[in-house]
Amino acid sequence: MLKNYIQNKQLNEQVQNFYTPSGIHVYFKEQLLNDWVDVEEVVLKLESLMPQYFFNEMDMIIVGHFGEFEKRHINAFYKDSALYVSNFQTNNEDLLDDLVHEMAHAIEEAYGYEIYADSEIKDEFLNKRNNLYNILWKMGFKAPKSLFLDTEYDKEFDDFLLKDIGYDKLAAIMQGMFINPYAATSLREYFATAFTEFYLHTDEHRFLKTISPQAYKKIILINRLDKV
């Protein structure tokens, strides 16, 4: 009984929900597995990186373990104004990367017209996908062309990239084409990866402007909008 009391007391002390100054509720469904990660510090850093009106699109950050992580090979996702993030994080930078990436998906829902209506990002993405198809075909990694023309996430295509080729090898193949292998998995992830690069690497954005100029252009656009 005493042992259970002590364990429960320690758990309650470790897991402390809080609100940020902008009103985001951070809720711990499960405690962090690494106690050296400072969630409050990371969330405050997140709020300092981008316009405050972006956070109108998010009410909660929920930390824990969720079934979607295994199903989709992810460790964070955005749904219904809440950002769900894994309770296993390597360090503060790892957590911040996840939060910024999922903020991109929140922003997509609010500013989808501004981002995608003129098809500039879509055309840029599909042109890269076509180049990737030709390179991989010549290397013997052959998959139906239709997979490369679908802008939506497709598990078959992701498995082809991840399992048949491998992200490490793919990173070398697509160098100078995509920011990273995950950016090639769908149009939405192409934008989210660019968004993450924009806010986490602010040294004049040379890399982003070179690799994904149309995505960069759209991020600059929504960075100047205020729907408040």
Q: What is the pLDDT of residues 198-221, one digit of tens each?
A: 999 877 899 999 999 999 999 999
Q: Domains in the chain: how many in total?
A: 2
Angstrom distance (rounded) from CA 16 to CA 214: 41
Is 48 found in the same domain as 65? yes
- Flag whether 12 is in a domain: yes
Q: Which domain holds residue 126?
A: 118-223
Predicted confidence at residue 193, as pLDDT, reads: 96
Is 71 found in the same domain as 58? yes
Is 131 found in the same domain as 152? yes
Picking from 61, 79, 114, the residue at the C-terminal end of a domain is: 114
Band of pLDDT at residue 96, cut at 50, 70 and 90 = very high
Is 94 found in the same domain as 74? yes
- Flag whether 83 is in a domain: yes
Asked whether residue 228 carries a pLDDT value surpassing 60, the answer given is no
Cα dist. 152→7, 33, 157, 171, 184 in Å?
45, 33, 10, 21, 11
- Flag whether 228 is in a domain: no
Is 106 found in the same domain as 20? yes
Angstrom distance (rounded) from CA 48 to CA 200: 11
Is 143 found in the same domain as 193? yes
Predicted confidence at residue 226, as pLDDT, reads: 66
pLDDT tens figures, 134-152: 999 999 999 999 999 999 9
- Flag whether 9 is in a domain: yes
pTM: 0.88
Band of pLDDT at residue 22, cut at 50, 70 and 90 = confident
Is 131 found in the same domain as 80? no
Residues 97-112, mean pLDDT to the nearest whole number: 95
Band of pLDDT at residue 3, cut at 50, 70 and 90 = very low
- Flag whether 136 is in a domain: yes
Predicted confidence at residue 15, as pLDDT, reads: 61
- Flag whether 18 is in a domain: yes
Residues 123-144, mean pLDDT to the nearest whole number: 96
Is 97 found in the same domain as 14? yes
- The alpha carbons of the chain give a radius of gyration, in whole angstroms, of 19
Is 105 found in the same domain as 123? no
Predicted confidence at residue 70, as pLDDT, reads: 81
Q: What are the tokens at 66?
A: 């969720």
Residues 69-82, mean pLDDT to the nearest whole number: 88
Look at the block and give the residue holding tokens 């990660």: 37
Dihedral pair phi/psi, residue 71, rounded to 5°: -60, -40
Report the mean per-residue pLDDT for the chain: 89
Is 106 found in the same domain as 145? no
Residues 3-23, mean pLDDT to the nearest whole number: 61
Q: Could you give the percent of the chain with pLDDT greater than 90?
A: 77
Band of pLDDT at residue 38, cut at 50, 70 and 90 = very high
Q: Report yes or no: 207 and 201 within 8 Å, Cβ to Cβ.
A: yes
